[in-house]
């Protein structure tokens, strides 16, 4: 059974006895948002289930304010290959057959196999949060777990910046604590490159309320970005350009990096033609501890392109203090177009005009459609 009204997409899957097995839906805001914020998507079936044991399966992205946003939702009867195939193909159909660049999930084997088929060109990675949740259960009984082993594992995961560093740190961990026979750790290493009780109608009611609040919060942040300008804290033309391009939420993150440039003293470690490699040392505060870190920045004089081993730009979409320090040292005062194209700019606010202008109508239609499916 397939139903589609203007903007709202929904599809149900019935068994041979015409009983509901799976359902997927996406409102107009989710479908519109995917056009601009669908590069990276997370999928998780562990949030909650209804009274019939049907897992809630949301597709989630990140918007230009750094907020999580819903890009489609499902209620599924099973977590097997057949169900995931139906759900992923339905979601892809809803999004006009445009697959995400990357998708993050848990380590479910059936899910992994289906993603390789339905999204063959998407990079699939496992959620680190899900993996680390299992640490205490899988190796917590080891006599050295609470003394130092857990800290060494966390250092291996979070503090290594290159493949070589990770391999060396992992080998030391395994050898030091005699973990070669730990099946769970070995399975992680083998796949290191990937590394509320309610019925359906009640669920739709609760979901609708939560989603409407989320849209309102995003709208308020959009209006704040366009009506209020946060003053710059330096005379840098680069910061002024960030002020122009970013939402206020992301610009505040940028300013934290701009302030950090004052403490940076990069040193040139090698130069190969137009390519320079700098080493930058820093101290990072983690809760009550201070951690010393060393990062390396590759800088190309010809096109003023820079990449840092901290990978803040890849993870958060903003340039780190280390790259900004290299720009300052080399007299770079403007951003090239190639860098600007990758920024999370606030002009993307326009994709949500539909949600602002027709929010009440959208949610009224969504709740009626959801209730219709629940009662079918």
**How many whole angstroms separate alpha carbon 226 and alpha carbon 218?**
13
Checking DSSP bridges between strand 123-126 and strand 102-105, what pairing results, if any?
A: parallel
The sign of the CA dihedral 185, 190, 193, 194 is: negative
pLDDT in tens, 327-345: 999 998 887 554 444 444 4
pLDDT for residue 346 is more than 60? no
Which pLDDT value is given to residue 291?
Answer: 81
- Neighbouring CB atoms inside 10 A of 206's CB total 12
- The pLDDT of residue 82: 92
Q: Give the mean pLDDT of the chain.
A: 78
Q: Is 49's pLDDT higher than 70?
A: no
Helix (H) / strand (E) element for 70: namely: strand 68-75
> Is the pLDDT assigned to residue 285 strictly greater than 80?
no
pLDDT at 18: 81
pLDDT in tens, 176-223: 999 988 898 888 888 887 772 333 344 444 444 444 555 556 556 555
Provide the pLDDT for residue 95.
93
Number of Cβ within 10 Å of residue 202's Cβ equals 14
Residue 39 has pLDDT above 50, yes or no: yes
Which pLDDT score is estimated for 222? 58
Lowest mean pLDDT among 52-56, 232-236, 357-361: 357-361
Give residues with Cβ within 8 angstroms of 286, minimum separation 6: none
Residue 119: name the closest of 146, 137, 140, 98 by CA: 98
Q: Is the pTM of this model over 0.75?
A: no
Q: Strand, coil or helix: what is 109?
A: helix
pLDDT of residue 5: 58
Nearest to 105 by CA among 51, 156, 159, 47: 47
* Segment of 59-63, 218-222, 262-266, 332-336 carrying the highest mean pLDDT: 262-266
Strand order in the sheet with 9-14: 2-4, 9-14, 20-26, 68-75, 56-62, 40-43, 102-105, 123-126
Among the CATH numbers 3.30.420, 3.40.1000, 3.40.50, 3.30.590, which is that of 2-127+196-218+359-375? 3.30.420
Pairing of strands 56-62, 68-75: antiparallel
Task: Say how far apart CA 293 and CA 325 lie, in whole Å.
Answer: 16
Q: Which helix or strand (DSSP H or E) is residue 137 part of?
A: helix 135-139
Q: Domain extents for the chain?
A: 2-127+196-218+359-375, 130-194, 248-343
The pLDDT value recorded for residue 337 is 52
For residue 66, what is the DSSP state?
A: S
- The confidence score (pLDDT) of residue 260 equals 92
Does 348 have pLDDT greater than 90? no
200 or 234, greater pLDDT: 234
Q: Give the per-residue pLDDT at 219.
A: 59
Within a 10 A sphere around the Cβ of 33, how many other Cβ atoms?
A: 24
Beta carbons of 22 and 87 less than 8 angstroms apart: yes
Sequence-distant (6+) residues with CB within 8 A of 161 are 295, 296, 309, 310
């Amino acid at each position: 059974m397939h139903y589609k009204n203007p903007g709202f997409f929904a599809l149900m899957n019935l068994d041979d006895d015409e009983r509901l097995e799976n359902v997927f839906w996406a409102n107009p805001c989710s479908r519109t948002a995917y056009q601009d914020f669908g590069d990276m998507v997370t999928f998780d079936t562990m949030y909650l289930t209804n009274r019939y044991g049907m897992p809630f399966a949301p597709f989630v992205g990140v918007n230009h304010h750094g907020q999580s946003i819903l890009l489609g939702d499902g209620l599924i009867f099973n977590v097997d290959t057949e169900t995931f195939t139906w759900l992923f193909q339905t979601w892809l159909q809803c999004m006009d057959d445009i697959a995400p660049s990357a998708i993050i999930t848990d380590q479910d084997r059936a899910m992994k196999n289906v993603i390789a088929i339905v999204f063959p060109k998407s990079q699939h990675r496992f959620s680190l949060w899900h993996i680390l949740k299992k640490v205490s259960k899988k190796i917590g009984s080891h006599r050295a777990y609470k003394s130092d082993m857990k800290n060494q594992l966390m250092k291996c995961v979070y503090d290594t910046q290159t493949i070589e560093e990770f391999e060396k740190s992992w080998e030391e961990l395994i050898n030091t604590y005699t973990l070669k026979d730990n099946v769970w750790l070995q399975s992680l290493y083998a796949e290191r490159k990937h590394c509320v009780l309610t019925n359906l109608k009640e669920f739709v009611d609760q979901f609708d309320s939560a989603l409407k609040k989320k849209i309102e919060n995003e709208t308020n942040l959009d209006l704040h970005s366009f009506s209020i300008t946060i003053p710059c804290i330096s005379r840098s033309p680069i910061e002024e350009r960030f002020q122009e391009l970013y939402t206020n939420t992301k610009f505040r993150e940028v300013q934290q990096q701009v302030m950090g440039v004052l403490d940076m003293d990069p040193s040139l470690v090698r130069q190969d033609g137009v390519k320079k490699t700098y080493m930058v040392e820093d101290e990072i505060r983690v809760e009550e501890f201070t951690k010393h870190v060393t990062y390396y920045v590759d800088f190309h004089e010809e096109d003023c392109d820079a990449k840092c081993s901290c990978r803040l730009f890849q993870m958060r979409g903003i340039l780190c203090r280390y790259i900004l320090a290299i720009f300052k040292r080399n007299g770079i005062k403007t951003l090239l177009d190639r860098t600007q194209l990758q920024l999370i700019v606030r002009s993307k606010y326009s994709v949500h005009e539909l949600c602002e202008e027709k929010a009440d109508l959208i949610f009224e239609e969504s709740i009626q459609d959801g209730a219709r499916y629940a009662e079918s």
